[in-house]
Structure 1
């Protein structure tokens, strides 16, 4: 009887039921779209962090920034020295010099890796050394001395050598033409290739390192850098006089690469004259829900270090990605709540109004022996069905909206800059990316890099379950309004009214 009466009433009042369902559908659809876009924002930020940290990395440990000592302002600057050339036949000979510097000029002992790895909640830890190579090459050209009218012209010095009276004249031409090339190098522990920045790239050509190449003269080049320098597998690059063979090309999964060249850690330490030194410890937590506790344990037990989690690094992300994320999490969330509350209220009021128009009907049913509870259940049942219909419509519209966002896939820019002006390795101490900038670089106060991320709107099963729950809740709220109104009807009063 319940379902027969329910079906008949919903069919008879299709327009009213559709209005209630449509209001609920609008609110539910907006919730789905906002939730899916917010999820897409989180995935986009995750891609940004992976391009710096690497997959599986929950936090990094770097040396705590120390204030510079008085009179030490010049110690971090690279110096280049070139031999003087005296003979004329060596004039214009190309000269080259490079310097391998620790990025940020702050290092930790390699033993810090074991110390961090021994802390409670740490599943794994690996050290890395971030370097910056500056190479200067070019040539000097001697000028020609041109004597005043009446004298002779010589090359490199006035006539008469260094003795006698100086004759009037001037030097023309000459000078120097030097090119400065800067690129980043990351020393990775070949025994733990599943943790650290290299994991954010895949080997597209050649191979990666083997466990026996801890000090080998081999390298994996970033694909963009290899294209720029026309490097391929089997070619060699020279760093500080050491020839390094390229054994693989790595293509980043998203964004920019963490470094231009990846070297075995021990070889990188040798090139930088930093034996048993690292710049960063990459940490994987045993439980992602306990990251804050692990951070506190490391800060407490490993002195002289700064611990940076992915959440800390996410706070430094600016640009359109950050703006859109803020809008989705604040404006979008409150707008969804406002629309949903309005939809619930409208559904409740419409259901209550419908009950008022059915006073004679419910009065007659009570006169025929229906109890108030049965009438209330009938009204609530109708409202719940309306809510479920609205939920189905809302899910369909919400999925359509999420699909449109994913199909359009708008591009957002994430600007990553040094946080807080830390000089010891910046935010997380990671490698500096293609140009040596980014959160890990402290060579320049303005070091930063921008990543372009395509936004998607994935809809999870949790979001669908939430939509179904909202649909049922909306129906129950609307039914509560109508049921309360129906329960207060008295048969005698109802029968005296004419519809």
Structure 2
């Protein structure tokens, strides 16, 4: 009897049911779309941080910033020999530690001994600047009137030759690339883990001091490098054993070599620029950070949260809008949809006074009438949920299909290092890092949890609407129906 009457009443009031279901569907669809877009932005931010960080890295330790003008922060100088042969090519290069400041390799062990640290590995980030070119000697061109007399300098033949040097100059090409010295015995942490080996192989644990290298695919394409060829770093030749491709954005470095080799070419024996740290418990990152800062002086500890604060651009703006305006908007629409559904259901009950009064006169209890109204509202809510989920999934799919590109600009971290400070992205403690922009394609993944939330909202919407109408229906009396008949 319950379901028969329910089906008949829903069919008889199709327009009213569609209005209630559509209102709930709009709110539920908006919740799904906003939640999926927010999830996509969170994934995009993780990709941005991983391109700097290295997978599994929770924080980095770098040397504390030096005072402006401190020793060791001078600009690089290039010197060329004077040569008689003007066609002789001049070439010189400089290997510079990024950030101009380093930590002792023993710092890695000290960090690893701190409570809450699961693993720690050191790396050395370098910038190599190579200058190639040649000088061209200028030619002296004599003025045609020189030495004709009558002018200053005396009579015939008594004057100095007059003219000027024309032509000549210098033409030099500056080639700058980044090198990262990686600890080949611990390759689970550090910037190289944010790239995948697409050709050749990665380092072997036994190649701690071998002259081998892994190059980034973009740099390899630019310089026409491949597995089996060689790359030269400050006069030292390294055999390319692998080519890597960054998971997202730009690679952490152009060339990766074993840490000991990087220390040798940079004349930085037993030195590192960055210690990458993995915490034993992701919930205790702040505690681990405080312990390292307290127990190891002269260092700066930067977590992923600290680095995320430096990310700006459209990704950061859109993420802020989705987490604030978008969420509040979806909540407001959902609340409005619930209220409208409740009011429409209550209004429908008021138009059915004669019907419910007659049913009570025939022996229906108030509870049975209330259950009937709640059942109708619940079905409307479930219909709205199905429609809302369909619209929400379509909206999320459309966002993923379009894949709008958002930019994430990693602004300067200033004198303090930061995650990018001593890392291979450039800059580092003691100087301001250059801004870096990454393009990230936005997706809108819909999780099972989001679908379950949508179903819950549909049920809640139906129950709230049913509560409005049921309360109104329970207060009706048979006498109300008799007055309407009269």
Instruction: Give TM-score, length-normalised by structure 2.
Output: 0.92
Question: Which secondary structure state, in structure 2, belongs to the residue aligned with residue 397 of structure 1?
Answer: helix
Report the secondary structure of 2:177's partner residue: strand
| 3-state SS of 1:346 partner | helix
Secondary structure in structure 2 of the residue aligned to 1:193 = coil
Query: Does the alignment pair 1:455 with 2:449?
Result: no
Cα 1:429/1:276, change in 2 over 3 Å? same
**Range with greater deviation from structure 2 (61-70 or 260-269):** 61-70
Classify 1:215/1:460 alpha carbon distance in 2 versus 1 (closer, same or farther; 3 Å): same
Query: Aligned in 2, Cα 1:187/1:386: closer, same or farther, shift over 3 Å?
Result: same
CA distance in 2, matches of 1:122, 1:346: 54
The alpha carbon displacement at 1:150 in A equals 8.9
For 1:14-413, list aligned pairs within 5 A. Answer: 14-68=14-68, 72=71, 75-85=73-83, 88=84, 90-146=85-141, 168-413=162-407
| Map of 1:485 onto structure 2 | 472
Q: Secondary structure at the match of 2:249?
A: coil
When residues 17 and 149 of structure 1 are mapped into structure 2, their CA distance, relative to the original with a 3 A threshold, is closer
**Structure 2 unmatched ranges of 5 or more:** 148-158
Q: Deviations over 1:336-380 (max 9, x none)?
A: 111101100000000101111111222222233333222222221
C-alpha separation between the residues in 2 aligned to 1:467 and 1:47?
28
**Is the alpha carbon distance of 1:243 and 1:470 closer, same or farther for their aligned partners in structure 2, counting shifts above 3 Å?**
same
Number of residues paired by the alignment? 475
1:441 shift after superposition: 5.0
Deviation at 1:140, TM superposition (A): 2.1
Aligned residues of 2:63 and 2:429 also touching (Cα < 8 A): no
Distance (whole Å) between structure 1 residues aligned to residue 294 and residue 377 of structure 2: 57
The root-mean-square deviation of aligned C-alpha atoms, in Å, is 2.3
Q: Distance in 2 between matches of 1:81 and 1:275?
A: 24
Deviation at 1:443, TM superposition (A): 9.0
Distance 2:63 2:21 in 1: 59
Q: Distance in 1 between matches of 2:169 and 2:485?
A: 108
* Superposition TM-score, scaled by structure 1 size: 0.89
Shift of 1:193: 1.3
Question: Which residue in the other structure is 1:422 paired with?
Answer: 415
Cα deviation 1:410-432 (Å, max 9, x = unaligned): 1111111212x225466453212
1:105 is paired with a residue of what secondary structure? coil
Structure 1 residue 317: deviation in Å?
Answer: 1.6
Q: Is the 8 A contact 1:186 1:259 kept in 2?
A: yes
C-alpha contact 1:144 1:172 (8 A) present in aligned 2 = yes
Measure, in 2, the Cα distance between the counterparts of 1:346 and 1:139: 80
The separation in 1 between residues aligned to 2:108 and 2:338, in whole angstroms, is 56
Q: Deviations over 1:58-87 (max 9, x none)?
A: 2222222232356x4x842111222232xx
Query: Within 1, Cα distance between the matches of 2:134 and 2:429?
Result: 30
Separation in structure 1 between the aligned mates of residue 364 and residue 169 of structure 2, nearest angstrom: 107
In the alignment, the residues of structure 2 paired with residue 322 and residue 494 of structure 1 have an alpha-carbon distance, to the nearest angstrom, of 61
Q: Is the 8 A contact 2:51 2:251 kept in 1?
A: yes
Q: Distance in 1 between matches of 2:441 and 2:360?
A: 61
Deviates more, 1:305-314 or 1:198-207: 305-314
Q: Distance in 2 between matches of 1:53 and 1:443?
A: 20
Contact 1:313 1:428 in 2 (8 A): no
